[in-house]
């Protein structure tokens, strides 16, 4: 398969779980990108990628990114950032502000910030980012030496400088562009992009579309041999010998996805890979045939209406964060606590559902928002399950073989809701406890309430007994109701490395209570607000 | 003319010394060009290493079955203890640190065997197929368990000054307490790595990420059973070390070397992060107990401080580390009569090792924790109790008998109290806490006094090597290693100042055992103190030679170097001109230099002496806010005043101060090491061991250097700055504890680290939960 790396077309071969980091370091000799953890936690391996020449680059963790997902895309590493011997503004600023000590984390910071600056460029220049925005931009990058202050200052300084154009099309990419194969790649990117630019109205696959797409799938399945050809067409040419037992497939539409899933019932689905790839990099596991969802635009759209919404399973957290800014501000705020920018740029809602981890942060929220999960079979036949029924146990879902999640539908955006997450560290940490509460009122009286929690059982769950304790009460009554004993009865969390059982129970009760106090109109300042005033 | 030369000299000084020059490798860092061990170009037949590890924490090995491992795809060679031709013991000072487990295992994940295979993946796959039978024993994991079993890695030591017990008993007031202090994982961003290339004579040439290339060299020679001169070790730079690469890098280099010699191929051993976290040593956990007697002003009359360290299964560097904890149990205070006891407990855990501060932080935290209780007992502001107890002219001897001279902390603390508006903010915090319902603030101002020098006196030596080439360019080499602390940058500046030439003429290079031999580790904050002085010595030799040469050619006797020129006050020659003429006249342009720190000695048995050349001082004021519903907290403001003597490079010094503070803050707030009851480390990856991110650093982070010449004859009268700032973060822990106090109640106990959970229990006063029982 071919990828554009720093403006040049490179051919890569390897197994389906072959990561971009290994490709860069071991095969392309680009050792500027560092390995610090291989688990998406440290950011030393950060590079920029983009779908095509027209979109801005965005930062990702190359250590957990399978190269199969990058065919025809563009990768920019720290070696490709400077152009014609001219440092990128963030590189210069990092030198000027003493942003590196041992330097091992530096390429990762430089790339994360170069990616962030790309996005600042297209934002309102008046909108000077606060320190917090920069801190969030590098929340996925660890530095053990500097204490970060000089890095934050470098970012602030770079922001004031004119930014170069990155990648193919920029001067550094001239050579690549003058090569006819590369030109066609660039054009291919362009074409993809145009295909990807759907009108807002078209985005969410509605029930009717679902039917239609399943027809397409059936139709193409009758094609017999040529169907096999179509399956093969989406096989990413990673194998050095052209054949081989395991392969990576990257379909681009539902019809092809259905074909592939039908042909390969044992294949494993990968969306962002931010969960799945850890099994490979941490436990040395190998994947079988892999089917990537990352290019299936049809399951990536997000539509948030006044009170309800549809989120494509393949939508990334970053996309969701953008969409939620106005329509679902509580989610927008909460998502900044999920993973890091690099993780949010790849990780998907479908992946969170597919993992069904007890500490999946979207799950309590979806439970509280009475979400319905739309599942499709390989034939394109869809069914809907409530999220409560979808999650069947510890990392166990109601998905059958070759099923995939197409989208999830939520409601109650108009209601009062609060989502909390407690972890040892504020940024890029896994929840000890997460709590989502949604309150529906009639006047001052609680008509209905959803209380969902994560991190306190083998799965995320709704706490029906707690909910009933609140229903019918006035908001003031609810805000003073002592539920700690009841919470202690209905949950029995475990003690582990993140928190003790006693703490989990105590904090769950306190957070539910806190939501009720806030619902009653008493806004409770957070430590972050307290930190930024005065 | 003389005046002119003087000016030139001054301008060369300002060009290099005291300037905030960027790191010598900054450009390579930001472009990805800087090479680390993992980036070493490798031949295509390179072999990769993985290890088979113990699945239990303690037991006798009854059988190791390698059949499956050897049969595994890509495997070229397999090693066990029996295959080591030389010594299997790779201890730095004493004995017991093993390369491979022999007849028993003593910690979970201890290395049993090593595999060399054609790829990293295949090596790991092969190692995972190891079959081992172990007669399991119940592991001893805690200090208390080891105390009960009376199991020590090294003997207990005591510092005594006067009769502490009766001084405490006869004092007006007493307090007693204890503190469980957890360790810390280094989490250097670059994991441990070594690459070994076999030589034609049965030796090896090794690239390692080590703070102590000489020791790596010696241990490889021991393991291979070859003379030391068959082994060359090189360190260009480390991606962070923090003490974690002082002894912990050697086993990797030894194993890679064994394979290289056996197979005749280049071998790379790079630990995956998880191995690094479970197999390498960490900061020591301590169980600290203290009892203090004091008068009604809060002035200490006597102190009895017991520091018991969990050393892990072997001694490693625990002797010096516990000593240093004891040396710092007074921090900046005259304790009155004192008894300080240091115990070194053996446990079935990985052998704990050096970590920035080297025991000092734990000793210092103990006394700071205790002083807060003194203040609480007397209802005084803790800062006043600290001030009243500072060393003073009539009380200036430490419990180990060293006189504290040039004590700067009183003016420093007073300046910081003013600059940080401590008194006003104390009132604001009190007012806030009176009205706030669930958010609470806390404030603390704590000092640091840190002793500089290796406490093992013989290590206080250094060597250097300088070559000047005929184009006037200079290569500089010394025994110090660069781990990000800016050593090479500072030494380059020092040499530029000495030669009076621009920094650009000087190239700093990798530490290499075949260029400067028998070096000490780059540790104890002494990298610049030692190596820069050795460099100055070599520079002086060269300057003498050049001066004599010029004089022999008819120049005046007062030769000066500066502004890229050399002058006798009458004539001015360019640097290049003199160098070229010296070469043509057969003057040697290469010299070595040597330095040993003067005036230090210590009698270990008596616990008396002058272990430190001087002290570095600092003070920090930290404010925090805490949410009582969850215990989540945030540092909102930090003000630091830190003593660096005369700074060689203020930007580098500031970087050390800020980085040290944040690293210390991580140790005391979010970084929690937890083992389960079978002795397996649970916090074994960055997903469950959380070092600070940029978000944890307050926007108001004010750092000022206290610049006043070091009266000792250190390089340009500067002071060491590597370790001391870490302990400034104690102010964050004290501030959190301050915030946890409920109005009208006693200061509660607070765990270390003060995670949200620990803060929550401290705030609710539910002591029973304050310590994790399920996890150690
Ligand atoms: C550093 C780091 C930090 C993280 N932080 C958080 C955090 O704060 N909160 C949190 O909740 N999670 C976190 N995660 C976990 C992970 O990012 C999320 O769970 C994410 O939602 C997974 O999405 P993905 O697209 O990457 O899933 P993948 O890894 O691609 O897939 C995960 C599983 O879901 C299945 N799957 C994916 N998409 C579908 C689909 N459409 N239909 C059926 N099955 C599907 C896959 O087959 C696989 O079994 C973190 C991970 C890392 C590495
Ligand atoms: S190597 Fe740490 S995030 Fe990729
Ligand atoms: S500079 Fe060393 S980790 Fe950041």
CATH number at residue B10: 3.30.365.10
Is the Cβ–Cβ distance between A71 and A3 less than 8 Å? yes
A198 falls within a domain: no
Residues paired with A409 in a beta bridge = A310, A372
Average pLDDT over residues A445-456: 97
| Among protein residues, the one whose CA lies closest to atom 3 of ligand 3 | A143
B251 and B304 together in one domain: no
Q: Which among A98, A104, A112 is the best mutation to test ligand 3's pocket, defined by most ligand atoms within 8 Å of the CB?
A: A104
Q: Helices (DSSP H) in A169-234: which residue ranges?
A: 174-178, 180-196, 200-203, 207-221, 225-233
A339 and A442 together in one domain: yes
A522 falls within a domain: yes
The minimum CA-CA distance between A202 and chain B, rounded to whole Å, is: 39
How does pLDDT run across A3-24, given as a tens digit for each residue? 999 999 999 988 899 999 999 9
Centre of ligand 1 to C-alpha A277, Å, is 9
B261 and B374 together in one domain: no
Average pLDDT over residues A467-490: 96
B9 and B57 together in one domain: no
Please tell me the number of the ligand nearest to residue A63's CA: 2
Closest CA to B385 of B445, B297, B293: B297
A309 and A407 together in one domain: yes
How far is the C-alpha of B390 from the C-alpha of B380, rounded, in Å? 16
B640 and B530 together in one domain: no
Q: Do B634 and A530 touch (CB under 8 A)?
A: yes
B145 falls within a domain: no
Q: Do A95 and B699 touch (CB under 8 A)?
A: no
Query: Ligand 3: does its nearest atom lie under 6 Å from the Cβ of A146?
Result: yes
Q: Helices (DSSP H) in A447-519: which residue ranges?
A: 464-470, 475-480, 484-490, 501-519
Q: Do A284 and B124 touch (CB under 8 A)?
A: yes
Q: What is residue A169's predicted lDDT score, i.e. its pLDDT?
A: 53
Name which of B39, B189, B682 is nearest A105 (Cβ-Cβ). Answer: B189
Cα A472 to the center of its chain, rounded Å: 38
How far is the C-alpha of B357 from the C-alpha of B339, rounded, in Å? 22
**DSSP-assigned letter for residue B509:** -
Please tell me the number of the ligand nearest to residue A35's CA: 2
Q: What is residue A534's predicted lDDT score, i.e. its pLDDT?
A: 45
A166 falls within a domain: yes
**DSSP-assigned letter for residue B669:** H
Query: Which structural domain, as residue segments, surrounds residue B632?
Result: 285-455+604-769
B304 and B430 together in one domain: yes
B579 and B636 together in one domain: no
Query: Which structural domain, as residue segments, surrounds residue A154?
Result: 1-192
Q: What is the CATH number of the domain that holds B258?
A: 3.90.1170.50
| Among protein residues, the one whose CA lies closest to atom 2 of ligand 3 | A102
How far is the C-alpha of A277 from the C-alpha of A294, rounded, in Å? 14
Q: Which residue has the higher pLDDT, A382 or A244?
A: A382
How far is the C-alpha of A152 from the C-alpha of A140, rounded, in Å? 14
Structure tokens at B30: 């930001």
Strands A461-462, B104-105: parallel, antiparallel or unpaired by DSSP? Answer: unpaired
**DSSP-assigned letter for residue B168:** H
A197 falls within a domain: no
The minimum CA-CA distance between B659 and chain A, rounded to whole Å, is: 4
How far is the C-alpha of A519 from the C-alpha of A441, rounded, in Å? 10
Q: Where residue B771 falls among pLDDT bands split at 50, 70, 90?
A: low
Tell the residue number behind the tokens 């003058």, with chain if given.
A178
Domain boundary among B536, B566, B596: B596
A408 and A517 together in one domain: yes
A127 and A19 together in one domain: yes
Q: Do A426 and B20 touch (CB under 8 A)?
A: no
Q: What is residue A178's predicted lDDT score, i.e. its pLDDT?
A: 44
A241 and A313 together in one domain: no
How far is the C-alpha of B590 from the C-alpha of B539, rounded, in Å? 9
A54 and A101 together in one domain: yes
Centre of ligand 2 to C-alpha A341, Å, is 13
Tell the residue number behind the tokens 């529906």, with chain if given.
A440
Average pLDDT over residues A338-361: 97
Enter the ipTM.
Answer: 0.96
Is the Cβ–Cβ distance between B43 and B198 less than 8 Å? no
Ramachandran angles phi, psi of B31, nearest 5°: -100, -5
Structure tokens at B76: 């070229």
Q: What is residue A180's predicted lDDT score, i.e. its pLDDT?
A: 41
For chain B, the domain total comes to 3
Q: Do A104 and B239 touch (CB under 8 A)?
A: yes
**What is the DSSP track for A459-474?**
S-EE-HHHHHHHTTSB
B70 Cβ neighbours under 8 A, 6+ residues apart: B78
**DSSP-assigned letter for residue B726:** G
Q: Do B693 and A38 touch (CB under 8 A)?
A: no
Is the Cβ–Cβ distance between B635 and A520 less than 8 Å? no
B478 and B561 together in one domain: yes
Given a cut of 80, whether residue A503 has pLDDT beyond it is yes
How far is the C-alpha of A19 from the C-alpha of B762, rounded, in Å? 45
Centre of ligand 1 to C-alpha A291, Å, is 15
How does pLDDT run across A130-188, given as a tens digit for each residue? 788 999 999 999 999 999 999 999 999 999 999 999 987 544 444 444 444 443 334 43
Strands lying side by side in the sheet with B439-452: B439-452, B614-627, B633-645, B700-707
| Among protein residues, the one whose CA lies closest to atom 4 of ligand 3 | A143
Is the Cβ–Cβ distance between B372 and B737 less than 8 Å? yes
Q: Where residue A284 falls among pLDDT bands split at 50, 70, 90?
A: confident
B228 and B101 together in one domain: yes
Average pLDDT over residues A219-226: 44
The Cβ of residue A195 has, within 10 Å, a number of other Cβ atoms equal to: 11
Burial of B551 (0-12, 13-18, 19+ CB in 10 A): middle
Q: Helices (DSSP H) in A369-444: which residue ranges?
A: 387-390
**DSSP-assigned letter for residue B23:** P
A320 and A282 together in one domain: no
Closest CA to B693 of A140, A282, A532: A140
Which of A99, A100, A145 is most worth mutating to test chain B (most B CB atoms within 10 A of its CB)? Answer: A145
Alpha-carbon torsion, ordered B80, B85, B89, B92, to 10 deg: -130
Closest CA to B405 of B546, B576, B571, B614: B614
Structure tokens at A382: 């869809």
Chain B residue with minimal CA distance to A93? B30
Q: Which residue has the higher pLDDT, A369 or A528?
A: A369
Q: Do B693 and A102 touch (CB under 8 A)?
A: no
How does pLDDT run across B25-84, given as a tens digit for each residue? 999 999 999 999 999 999 999 999 999 999 999 999 999 999 999 999 999 999 999 999
Centre of ligand 1 to C-alpha A272, Å, is 7
A254 and A116 together in one domain: no
In the predicted model, what is the mean pLDDT of chain A? 87
Question: With helix as H, strand as E and coil as C, how does B74-132 read?
Answer: CEEEEECHHHCCCCCECCCCCCCCECCCCCEECCCCCEEEEEEECCHHHHHHHHCCCEE
Is the Cβ–Cβ distance between B243 and B355 less than 8 Å? yes
Domain boundary among A161, A192, A223: A192
Given a cut of 60, whether residue A224 has pLDDT beyond it is no
Query: Ligand 1: does its nearest atom lie under 6 Å from the Cβ of A319?
Result: no
* Ligand 2 atom nearest to A62, measured from its CA: 4
Domain boundary among A130, A164, A192: A192
B354 and B404 together in one domain: yes
Centre of ligand 2 to C-alpha A38, Å, is 5
A512 and A444 together in one domain: yes
Q: Do A148 and B691 touch (CB under 8 A)?
A: no
Tell the residue number behind the tokens 């750092």, with chain if given.
B703
Is the Cβ–Cβ distance between B314 and B192 less than 8 Å? no
Report the percent of chain B where pLDDT is more than 90: 94
Given a cut of 50, whether residue B296 has pLDDT beyond it is yes
B331 falls within a domain: yes
Question: What is the Cα gyration radius of chain B?
Answer: 27
* Ligand 2 atom nearest to A35, measured from its CA: 1
Catalytic site includes residue B680:
no
Given the residues B623, B672, B680, B723, select the one marked as catalytic: B723
The Cβ of residue A70 has, within 10 Å, a number of other Cβ atoms equal to: 26
Tell the residue number behind the tokens 């010699």, with chain if given.
B261
The Cβ of residue B377 has, within 10 Å, a number of other Cβ atoms equal to: 17
| Side-chain half-sphere exposure of B329, counting CA atoms within 13 A | 32
How far is the C-alpha of B760 from the C-alpha of A2, rounded, in Å? 53
B162 falls within a domain: no
Closest CA to A369 of A397, A334, A318: A334
How far is the C-alpha of B744 from the C-alpha of B734, rounded, in Å? 18
Number of CB pairs < 8 Å for A and B? 270
For B390, the enclosing helix (H) or strand (E) is: none
Q: Which among A22, A24, A33, A44 is the best mutation to test ligand 2's pocket, defined by most ligand atoms within 8 Å of the CB?
A: A44
Q: Where residue A529 falls among pLDDT bands split at 50, 70, 90?
A: confident
Is the Cβ–Cβ distance between A146 and A106 less than 8 Å? no
B714 falls within a domain: yes
pTM value?
Answer: 0.94
Contacts of B36 in chain A (CB under 8 A): 34, 104
B97 and B232 together in one domain: yes
Given a cut of 80, whether residue A513 has pLDDT beyond it is yes
Question: What is the Cα gyration radius of chain A?
Answer: 24
Strands B285-294, B300-312: parallel, antiparallel or unpaired by DSSP? Answer: antiparallel
The minimum CA-CA distance between A142 and chain B, rounded to whole Å, is: 6
For chain A, the domain total comes to 3
Which of A97, A156, A497 is most worth mutating to test chain B (most B CB atoms within 10 A of its CB)? Answer: A497
How does pLDDT run across B542-569, given as a tens digit for each residue? 999 999 999 999 999 999 999 999 999 9
Name which of B630, B695, B760 is nearest A139 (Cβ-Cβ). Answer: B695
B191 and B121 together in one domain: yes
Contacts of B760 in chain A (CB under 8 A): 503, 506-507
A189 Cβ neighbours under 8 A, 6+ residues apart: A51, A52, A53, A54, A72, A73, A74
Cα B8 to the center of its chain, rounded Å: 38
Is the Cβ–Cβ distance between A205 and A214 less than 8 Å? no
The minimum CA-CA distance between B768 and chain A, rounded to whole Å, is: 10
Residues paired with B158 in a beta bridge = B341
Centre of ligand 3 to C-alpha B727, Å, is 19
Tell the residue number behind the tokens 């307290």, with chain if given.
A530
Is the Cβ–Cβ distance between A22 and A29 less than 8 Å? no
Given a cut of 90, whether residue B114 has pLDDT beyond it is yes
Tell the residue number behind the tokens 């002793």, with chain if given.
B451
**DSSP-assigned letter for residue A101:** S
Q: Which residue has the higher pLDDT, A526 or B398?
A: B398
Please tell me the number of the ligand nearest to residue B658's CA: 3
How far is the C-alpha of B715 from the C-alpha of B646, rounded, in Å? 9
A205 falls within a domain: no
Tell me which residues have their CB closer than 6 angstroms to ligand 2.
Answer: A 35-38, 40-45, 61, 63
Residues paired with B72 in a beta bridge = none
Tell the residue number behind the tokens 């502004």, with chain if given.
B563
Name which of A102, A107, A149 is nearest B32 (Cβ-Cβ). Answer: A107
Query: Ligand 3: does its nearest atom lie under 6 Å from the Cβ of A2?
Result: no
Q: What is the CATH number of the domain that holds A460?
A: 3.30.465.10
How far is the C-alpha of B674 from the C-alpha of B108, rounded, in Å? 13
Is the Cβ–Cβ distance between A4 and A74 less than 8 Å? yes
How far is the C-alpha of A312 from the C-alpha of A389, rounded, in Å? 19
B689 falls within a domain: yes
The minimum CA-CA distance between A161 and chain B, rounded to whole Å, is: 17
B298 and B432 together in one domain: yes
How does pLDDT run across A295-339, given as a tens digit for each residue? 999 999 999 999 999 999 999 999 999 999 999 999 999 999 999
Name which of A132, A497, A530 is nearest B439 (Cβ-Cβ). Answer: A530
Highest mean pLDDT among A124-128, B378-382, B602-606: B378-382
Question: With helix as H, strand as E and coil as C, how does A302-317 read?
Answer: EEECCCEEEEECCCEH
Q: Do B29 and A507 touch (CB under 8 A)?
A: no
Is the Cβ–Cβ distance between B709 and B645 less than 8 Å? yes
Structure tokens at A25: 């370091």
């Amino acid at each position: 398969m071919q990828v554009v790396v720093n403006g040049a077309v490179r051919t890569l071969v390897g197994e389906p779980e072959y990561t971009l980091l290994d490709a860069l370091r071991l095969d392309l000799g680009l050792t500027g990108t560092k390995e610090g953890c291989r688990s998406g936690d440290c950011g030393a391996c950060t590079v920029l990628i983009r779908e095509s020449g027209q979109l801005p680059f965005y930062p990702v963790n190359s250590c957990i990114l399978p190269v199969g997902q990058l065919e025809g895309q563009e990768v920019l590493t720290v070696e490709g950032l400077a152009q014609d011997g001219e440092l990128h503004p963030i590189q210069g600023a990092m030198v000027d502000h003493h942003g590196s000590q041992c330097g091992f984390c530096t390429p990762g910071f430089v790339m994360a910030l170069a990616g962030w600056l790309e996005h600042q460029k297209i934002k309102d220049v008046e909108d000077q980012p606060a320190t917090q925005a920069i801190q969030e931009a590098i929340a996925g990058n660890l530095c053990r030496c500097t204490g970060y202050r000089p890095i934050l200052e470098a970012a602030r300084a770079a922001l004031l400088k004119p930014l170069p154009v990155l990648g193919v099309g920029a001067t550094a990419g001239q050579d690549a562009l003058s090569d006819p194969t590369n030109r066609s790649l660039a054009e291919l990117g362009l074409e993809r992009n145009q295909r990807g630019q759907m009108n807002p109205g078209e985005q969410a696959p509605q029930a009717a579309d679902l039917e239609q797409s399943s027809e397409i799938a059936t139709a193409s399945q009758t094609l017999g041999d040529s169907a096999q050809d179509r399956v093969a067409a989406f096989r990413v040419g990673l194998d050095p010998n052209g054949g081989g037992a395991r392969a990576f497939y990257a379909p681009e539409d539902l019809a092809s996805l259905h074909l592939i899933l039908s042909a390969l019932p044992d294949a494993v689905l990968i969306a962002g890979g931010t969960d799945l790839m850890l099994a490979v990099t941490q436990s040395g596991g190998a994947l079988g045939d892999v089917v990537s969802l990352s290019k299936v635009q049809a399951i990536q759209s997000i539509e948030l209406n006044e009170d309800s919404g549809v989120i494509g399973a393949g939508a990334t957290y970053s996309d969701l964060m953008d969409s939620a800014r106005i329509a679902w501000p509580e989610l927008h705020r909460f998502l900044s606590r999920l993973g890091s920018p690099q993780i949010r740029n790849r990780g998907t809602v479908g992946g969170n559902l597919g993992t069904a981890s007890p500490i999946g942060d979207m799950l309590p929220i979806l439970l509280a928002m009475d979400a319905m999960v739309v599942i499709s079979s390989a034939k394109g036949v869809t069914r809907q399950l409530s999220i409560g029924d979808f999650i069947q146990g510890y990392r166990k879902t109601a998905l059958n073989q070759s099923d995939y999640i197409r989208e999830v539908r939520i409601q109650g955006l108009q209601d009062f809701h609060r989502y909390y997450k407690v972890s040892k560290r504020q940024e890029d940490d896994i929840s000890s406890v997460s709590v989502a509460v949604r309150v529906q009122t009639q006047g001052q009286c609680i008509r209905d309430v959803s209380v969902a929690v994560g991190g306190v059982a083998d799965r995320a769950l709704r706490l029906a007994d707690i909910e009933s304790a609140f229903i019918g009460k006035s908001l003031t009554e609810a805000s003073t109701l002592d539920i700690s004993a009841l919470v202690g009865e209905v949950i029995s969390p475990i003690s582990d490395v993140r928190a003790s059982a006693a703490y989990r129970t105590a904090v769950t009760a306190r957070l539910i209570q806190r939501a009720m106090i806030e619902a009653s109109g008493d806004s409770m300042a957070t430590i972050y607000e307290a930190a930024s005033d005065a | 003319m003389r005046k002119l030369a003087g000016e030139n000299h001054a301008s060369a000084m300002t060009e290099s010394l005291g300037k905030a020059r960027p790191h010598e490798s900054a450009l390579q860092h930001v472009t990805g060009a800087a090479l680390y061990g993992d980036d070493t170009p490798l031949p295509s037949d390179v072999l990769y290493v993985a290890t088979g590890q113990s699945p239990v924490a303690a037991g006798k090995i009854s059988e190791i079955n390698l059949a499956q491992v050897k049969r595994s795809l890509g495997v070229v060679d397999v090693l066990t203890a029996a295959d080591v031709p030389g010594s299997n013991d790779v201890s730095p000072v004493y004995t017991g640190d093993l390369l491979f487990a022999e007849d028993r295992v003593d910690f979970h994940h201890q290395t049993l065997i090593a595999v060399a295979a054609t790829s990293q993946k295949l090596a790991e796959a092969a190692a995972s197929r190891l079959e081992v039978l172990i007669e399991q024993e119940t592991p001893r994991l805690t200090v208390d368990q080891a105390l009960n079993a009376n199991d020590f890695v090294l003997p207990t030591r005591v510092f005594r000054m006067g009769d502490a017990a009766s001084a405490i008993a006869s004092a007006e007031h007493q307090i007693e307490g204890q503190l469980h202090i957890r360790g810390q994982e280094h989490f250097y961003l670059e994991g441990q790595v070594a690459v070994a290339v076999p030589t034609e004579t049965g030796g090896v040439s090794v690239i390692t990420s080590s703070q102590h290339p000489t020791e790596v060299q010696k241990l490889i020679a021991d393991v291979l059973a070859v003379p030391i001169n068959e082994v060359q070790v090189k360190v260009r730079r480390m991606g962070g070390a923090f003490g974690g690469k002082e002894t912990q890098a050697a086993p990797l280099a030894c194993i890679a070397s064994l394979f290289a010699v056996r197979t005749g191929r280049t071998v790379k051993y790079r630990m995956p992060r998880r191995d690094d976290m479970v197999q390498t040593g960490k900061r020591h956990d301590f169980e600290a107990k203290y009892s203090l007697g004091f008068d009604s002003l809060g002035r200490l009359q006597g102190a009895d401080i017991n520091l018991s360290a969990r050393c892990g299964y072997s001694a490693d560097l625990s002797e010096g580390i516990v000593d240093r904890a004891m040396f710092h149990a007074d921090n900046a205070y005259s304790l009155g009569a004192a008894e300080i006891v240091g115990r070194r407990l053996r446990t079935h855990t990985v052998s704990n090792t050096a970590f920035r501060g080297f025991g000092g932080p734990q000793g210092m935290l103990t006394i700071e924790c205790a002083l807060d209780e003194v203040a609480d007992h007397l209802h005084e502001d803790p800062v006043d109790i600290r001030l009243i107890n500072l060393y003073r002219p009539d009380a200036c001897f430490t419990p180990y008998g060293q006189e504290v001279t040039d004590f700067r902390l009183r003016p420093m603390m007073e300046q910081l109290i003013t600059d940080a508006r401590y008194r006003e903010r104390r009132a604001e915090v009190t007012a806030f806490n009176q009205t706030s319902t669930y958010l609470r603030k806390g404030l603390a101002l704590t000092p640091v006094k840190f002793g500089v020098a290796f406490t093992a006196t013989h290590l206080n030596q250094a060597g250097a090597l300088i070559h000047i080439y005929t184009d006037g360019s200079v290569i500089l080499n010394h025994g110090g290693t660069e781990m990000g602390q800016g050593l090479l940058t500072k030494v380059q500046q020092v040499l530029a100042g000495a030669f009076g030439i621009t920094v650009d003429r000087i190239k700093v290079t990798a530490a290499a055992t075949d260029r400067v031999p028998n070096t000490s580790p780059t540790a104890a904050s002494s990298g610049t103190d030692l190596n820069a002085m050795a460099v100055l010595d070599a520079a002086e030799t060269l300057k003498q030679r050049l001066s004599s040469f010029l004089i022999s050619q008819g120049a005046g006797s007062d030769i000066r170097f500066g502004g890229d020129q050399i002058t006798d006050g009458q004539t001015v020659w360019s640097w290049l001109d003199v160098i070229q003429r010296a070469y043509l006249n057969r003057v040697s342009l290469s010299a070595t230099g040597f330095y040993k720190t003067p005036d230090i000695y210590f009698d270990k048995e008596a616990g008396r002496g002058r272990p430190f050349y001087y002290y570095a001082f600092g003070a920090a004021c930290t404010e925090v806010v805490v949410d009582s519903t969850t215990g989540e907290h945030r540092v909102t403001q930090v003000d630091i005043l830190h003593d660096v003597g005369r700074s060689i490079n203020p930007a580098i010094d500031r970087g050390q101060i800020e980085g040290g503070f944040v690293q210390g803050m991580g140790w005391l707030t979010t970084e929690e090491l937890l083992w389960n009851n079978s002795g397996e480390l649970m916090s074994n990856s960055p997903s469950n061991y959380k070092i600070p991110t940029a978000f944890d650093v307050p926007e108001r982070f004010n750092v000022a250097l206290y610049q006043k010449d070091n009266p000792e004859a250190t390089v340009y009268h500067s002071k060491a700055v590597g370790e001391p700032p870490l302990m400034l973060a104690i102010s964050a822990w004290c501030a959190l504890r301050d915030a946890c106090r409920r109005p009208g109640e006693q200061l509660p106990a607070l765990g270390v680290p003060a995670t949200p959970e620990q803060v929550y229990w401290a705030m609710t006063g539910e002591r029973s939960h304050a310590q994790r029982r399920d996890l150690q």
